[in-house]
Structure 1
Amino acid sequence: MGRRPLALSRAALAHRGYRVLMRTLTLPVLGWLWLRGHKDAGYRERMGERLGFIDPTPASAGGLWIHAASVGEVQAARPLIAALRAEWPDHAITVSTQSPNGARTLHNHWGDAIQHVYAPIDTPGTAGRFLDRLQPSMLVLIEREIWPEWLRQCRERLIPVALVNARLSADSAASYERWRALMRPVWSQLAVVAAADAPSEAHYAALGVPPERLLHTGNLKFDQRDTPDDASRLPWLTRRAIVVAGSTHEGEESALITSWHELARQIPGALLILVPRHPERFDAVAQQLEEGGLSFVRRSRGETPADNTSVLLADTMGELTLWYLHASVCFIGGSLVPIGGHNALEAMACAKPVLFGPHTQHFQELYQDVETSGAGERVDSARLLMRTAAQWMRDKALLQRKGQLARDFVLRQQGSSQRSLEALRKVWAPICPPLLTPVLARDAGTQTVWHDPQQLAICDATVFQAPSIAGSALATGSGRGQAHRIALDSGEGVLRHYRRGGLMARLSPDRYLGRSPRDSRAMAEFTLLRRLRAWGLPVPAPVAARQQRAGWSYKADIVVAMIPQTRNVAQRLSEAPLPSDAWKALGAAIRAMHERQVFHADLNCHNLLLDAQGQAWIVDFDKCERRAGDSWKAQNLARLQRSLRKEQARRPGFQWDEAHWAVLLEGYRLDGPGTA
């Protein structure tokens, strides 16, 4: 499934130029990541994933891909992921990040329950390889992570893309407008744009997002829940007056350190908790604290502030909410220097008043509303920040009132995660219900086995051994399939060994090039059948798949559940003509498959079955895939018609008549407008 580029219109000139640029930048980007690894070793981990060489769990195929670039986006996505987990199993959710800090934040929240991968560089080969291995049903982008090649590769693979908690400043909108030739296809492609605020909604509308796909859901960070139990984890902080400076940048720490002496004189015993935005700057900030003459301790060393300690350097990841819970006043970093500010909602959700600098263009509307509500105040300098913080902390009633205003502000605007979830549900519900069962994978030397534990409790090599008893072999049209009836835990199954046909069969009857299990024919068909079953298509349930490697080649087997009381169309026509209802049922089954854009590479009268109740079934999905467009559908039907004519020519008494084809096409068109 998705193993080859799909036939779309040729990329526009602007997009071809973008591809050249991104390919040129690939090596410099990898070099930059390696250099960043000097300060944060996480940038050197799993470098192959940046090129699309991911190894996701088999159960994640057909699930959701959520991309949250770094810490801020992961934090924003938390309420949405929590809501999604109520409807999607954990194994069907994959979150990608670009920074190791984002990966650590994800792990801090959910451990190994949610699969993490690093996002691919935006080139055709890398993005395509990533998607072919993950095979998601839907991509959910958090905030503004729009990569043109990702989007094009998703279009080719019929993967809908949603943009959630979408934020877009006027400057960013103007930048996109300058690159309209590159970005124009993106805006019409997005299935949902859930805007975080009204200005962002207006900017996306002006860029060309269709109005029926654009809605204002509010900011996801309003839905973040504080954790009151955490407030008692650090009793040595409960007796201190605390200013938390969260997500600070270069230039802000030095200004805060210089100005802290003034607040310390006014509020004896006060403690500054300094939380730099980027871990690679932790040591540099510690050096500034030493040079500033302030007594400090480092969280990463497990050090506890004494009564005379001035600063706690919070040089760890994923604990910002914990510090906000202990704060008296919070400063939101990135706003005293021209960064654009970070989101104040995490602090306000903890019922803490906030101070921020003049540079808040990334959240302009939010900060205006915060000022209007009285829950926060804008300051022009670190000195004024300390003066204002001291004033608030001296007046306990004022501090408490502002904290309550902050909490009320957040509570009034909650509900974004549920509104976003409802918008996403409307996209995924017609595509794939999230009822994906787990898959167990086992590697034993040169053998890899996947199986569905709901179909087969224990799967070992004996499952793939063809029975020696007479009558176990099943009819297959060409004789290549080597299909056998086998016993399963409940009912029967069909074991099929993959064999080549034509001239290649004389050179290598059952070996195929390749080593990756997930790219093998067995695992590809197993994965596709899982998706087709989730859609309710009339196909057999996949039970197990095996790849056996030898050097650079492999052999493969698949086991599917037996469909009771079925015979293929070739067998039925060898005995008697089919009634009209049977032909219509076959046409409707093919139509249902085509409606899901599934191309059957070997659609013939041997791979179409009819059961005792007249229900039509489709089997043998080796080398099949999803395809965009409609032109191939008529060719697929023509292949089936040729197989019927071929059998009529080679089998005396074969009960086929050309008039039957019109009846099949009638059934094909009953589900909707025909394409044949």
Structure 2
Amino acid sequence: MAHRSYRLLMRALTLPVLSWLWLRGHKDAGYRERLGERLGFIDPTPASAGGLWIHAASVGEVQAARPLIAALRTEWPDHTITVSTQSPNGARTLRAHWGDAIQHVYAPIDTPGAAGRFLDRLQPSMLVLIEREIWPEWLCQCRQRLIPVALVNARLSADSAASYERWRALMRPVWAQLAVVAAADAPSEERYATLGVPRKHLLHTGNLKFDQRDTQEDAHSLPWLERRAVVVAGSTHEGEESALIASWHELARQIPGALLILVPRHPERFDAVAQELEEGGLSYVRRSRGETPIDSTSVLLADTMGELTLWYLHASVCFIGGSLVPIGGHNALEAMTCAKPVLFGPHTHHFQELYQDVEASGAGERIDSARLLMHTAAQWMRDKTLLQRKGQQARDFVLRQQGSSQRTLETLRQVWAPMHPPLLSPVSAQEAGAQTLWHDPQRITVCDAALFEAPSTNGSTLATGSGRGQAHRISLDLGEGVLRHYRRGGLMARLSPDRYLGRQARDSRAMAEFTLLRRMHAWGLPVPAPVAARQRRAGWGYTADIVVAMIPQTRNVAQCLSDAPLPDAAWRALGTAIRRLHDRQVFHADLNCHNLLINATGEAWIVDFDKCALRAGEAWKAQNLDRLLRSLRKEKERRNPFHWDESGWGALLLAYSGSGSAPAPRD
């Protein structure tokens, strides 16, 4: 009932949220970009299917995720990583760090339609949430699609924990669902445990921002800053800039030639801050215009995105914004990683434990006004020894607590196992008239319509499971492949033998099977590797073809039993192969003796995954085995000879149950 009520509320809020985004676009045009993605209408690259979805809401979360993304890129290819944000500032920060190497999308509104569409199009193997971005409908949709969810760099204040507790009925399934919660600090770990996250899923991995790497090579790229005393005010909010501008004259009198670098948090306020500088009578330049300070310049307005670390590297003293006004403060670690001492205001409740530790370490100091900030900064800058010592204390504070990204990576590795990410090979997509072609460039160098034309020689024909069409052996750059054309069965085959409804390539049968095979291959399951897929649009529908790698020296079970009985070892291999599929919740829509293969060494393989998918639950597994048993009994009636008896079935079930409980098939 609680979740149904939440769904109704979120659906009712959809139009107001979209209207709010449109209105925000008056100040920041980024809020009007790709509004359809907010409703789940994303168009991800085919190569990202089966990969990671990382959600980092805005600038702070993207910055926190940087060390983890860098660590993940050592194991996951770039084309498998997708990062979503809710703010355009977050998107700009992501782009500033990685350009187009990492796919970006805007996160969906938390409704069933938007979240479901998003997941069906992206098809991630895992969702990684940064800090505290917990949306009930997202997680509900992930549960239905068997997508594990991890919460990393997880922070939870006492106020936020109390708020979640008030929504206990809505949030209870969420806490039990989280595959892992990697807490940034010990108090957060305890609060999540109190809310209901199982202890075995909780770890204290530390704050990811301790692992941020400064770029010392940039420190000498701005010679006009090298000999000046610099105060950087990072991530400032409305009310803070005006207070800093009004107080700057006091520091300028004590430290001649000092420069204030103002870095407002939100781009839509850049012009307003420039107007405040005009009214304050300070000489200033704007970074966005390519202007550089001269000796008489008092303020550099850093009205660009993604350069905060650069300014911190050139700072003498750093002020962390959002703390002089009741915002709650921002993270001081980016500045401290650059070996800079920090000043901050009284409002730091978003990072209370962190700032307490910073004060205790001597690397930072709390001030209650802009005037005191200037006085303290001037005192530090006059005493070079003191300033250097505090900078070293800041650096040592960070170094003592590094390692979170590697601890988090190890934790996530256990969640995505047995996935082998490098096997999620790249996918090339191309349009050729009314055709959409996908292929794996590591297996074939050229993919065109000729690849999908059946060879003219009868010797190329292979047996198929359905009997509705033929599969053909074809030559590939590396070895051989199997070309299969999708055909209908039953009554529909008389009306439309090989045409299906739909227009979107990603939803076609060929691309759906290609995507599923790609993921199963990365899991190490006994299935053929996908090579290429084609959707060919025609009128109201489409036809489809797929090419997979040939599994050498294999015959299907029906062929084998036509010649001789299968040994118990072969039946056990088949039972183990089916169990491995079922353990990964792979539902085979047509599990029969034609789609099970045995090779020359007795290994078992499973093929033909048309209309197959990942499916929750357990009851369908017994039904899968029932279907296989019926196909064996049916072939026994149709073929003579056919060397099948029920004793082989017992060996198959015994091996199947070795990886778990075997569902008893019905007679």
**Aligned position for 1:673:** 661
CA shift, 1:551, in A, is: 3.9
Q: Does 1:210 align with 2:198?
A: yes
Q: Does 1:305 align with 2:264?
A: no
Q: Is the 8 A contact 1:105 1:317 kept in 2?
A: yes
Give the counterpart of 2:502 among 514, 517, 521: 514
Question: SS where residue 637 of structure 1 aligns?
Answer: helix
Sort the Cα spacing of 1:552 and 1:71 in 2 relative to 1 into closer, same or farther, 3 A: farther
Q: Is the 8 A contact 1:137 1:432 kept in 2?
A: no
CA distance in 2, matches of 1:167, 1:532: 34
Question: SS where residue 162 of structure 1 aligns?
Answer: strand
CA distance in 2, matches of 1:39, 1:448: 40
CA distance in 2, matches of 1:168, 1:276: 26
User: Which residue identity is paired with 1:214?
Assistant: L
Superimposed CA distance per residue, residues 428-476 of structure 1 (whole angstroms, 9 cap, x where no aligned partner): 2235554322122112232111111222122111110001112222222
Q: Does 1:18 align with 2:39?
A: no
Question: SS where residue 318 of structure 1 aligns?
Answer: coil
**Aligned position for 2:487:** 499
Give the counterpart of 1:658 among 626, 642, 646: 646
**Aligned position for 1:595:** 583
Q: Does 1:49 align with 2:31?
A: no
**Aligned position for 1:427:** 415
Q: Does 1:394 align with 2:382?
A: yes
Give the counterpart of 2:70 among 82, 91, 110: 82
User: Which residue identity is paired with 1:78?
Assistant: R
Superimposed CA distance per residue, residues 596-640 of structure 1 (whole angstroms, 9 cap, x where no aligned partner): 111000111111122222222111000001111211100111111
Identity %: 84
CA distance in 2, matches of 1:447, 1:163: 40
Q: Is the 8 A contact 2:419 2:524 kept in 1?
A: no
- TM-score w.r.t. the length of structure 1 is 0.96
User: Which residue identity is paired with 1:111?
Assistant: G
Tell me which moved more, 579-588 or 654-663: 654-663
Runs (5+) with no aligned partner, structure 2? none
Q: Does 1:451 align with 2:436?
A: no
User: Which residue identity is paired with 1:92?
Assistant: T
Q: Is the 8 A contact 1:63 1:434 kept in 2?
A: no
**Aligned position for 1:258:** 246
User: Which residue identity is paired with 1:609?
Assistant: L
CA shift, 1:47, in A, is: 1.6
Give the counterpart of 1:379 among 367, 378, 385: 367
CA distance in 2, matches of 1:563, 1:363: 56
Superimposed CA distance per residue, residues 247-268 of structure 1 (whole angstroms, 9 cap, x where no aligned partner): 0111111111111122122222
Q: Is the 8 A contact 2:419 2:522 kept in 1?
A: no
User: What is the alpha-carbon root mean square deviation over aligned residues?
Assistant: 1.4
Give the counterpart of 2:466 among 478, 484, 499: 478
**Aligned position for 1:333:** 321
CA shift, 1:480, in A, is: 1.8
**Aligned position for 1:629:** 617
CA shift, 1:552, in A, is: 4.0
CA shift, 1:138, in A, is: 1.2
User: Which residue identity is paired with 2:266?
Assistant: H
Q: Is the 8 A contact 2:423 2:521 kept in 1?
A: no
Give the counterpart of 1:549 among 537, 541, 548: 537
Q: Does 1:228 align with 2:228?
A: no
Q: Is the 8 A contact 2:284 2:300 kept in 1?
A: yes
Runs (5+) with no aligned partner, structure 1? 1-12
CA distance in 2, matches of 1:228, 1:116: 28
Question: SS where residue 574 of structure 1 aligns?
Answer: helix
Question: SS where residue 458 of structure 2 aligns?
Answer: coil
CA distance in 2, matches of 1:654, 1:92: 46
Q: Does 1:436 align with 2:429?
A: no
Q: Is the 8 A contact 2:235 2:265 kept in 1?
A: yes
Give the counterpart of 2:337 among 349, 353, 356: 349
Q: Is the 8 A contact 2:230 2:259 kept in 1?
A: yes
CA distance in 1, matches of 2:587, 2:68: 34
Q: Is the 8 A contact 1:348 1:407 kept in 2?
A: yes
CA distance in 1, matches of 2:23, 2:501: 37
User: Which residue identity is paired with 1:656?
Assistant: W
Alignment of 1:526-545 (within 5 A): 526-545=514-533
**Aligned position for 2:604:** 616
**Aligned position for 1:105:** 93
Give the counterpart of 2:23 among 21, 25, 35: 35
CA shift, 1:645, in A, is: 2.1
- TM-score w.r.t. the length of structure 2 is 0.97
Alignment coverage as a number of residue pairs: 664
Give the counterpart of 2:102 among 94, 111, 114: 114
Tell me which moved more, 256-265 or 326-335: 256-265
CA distance in 2, matches of 1:495, 1:663: 33
Sort the Cα spacing of 1:608 and 1:532 in 2 relative to 1 into closer, same or farther, 3 A: same
User: Which residue identity is paired with 2:121?
Assistant: R
CA distance in 2, matches of 1:40, 1:393: 37
Q: Which runs of 4+ in 1 moved over 6 A?
A: none
**Aligned position for 2:235:** 247
Question: SS where residue 641 of structure 2 aligns?
Answer: coil
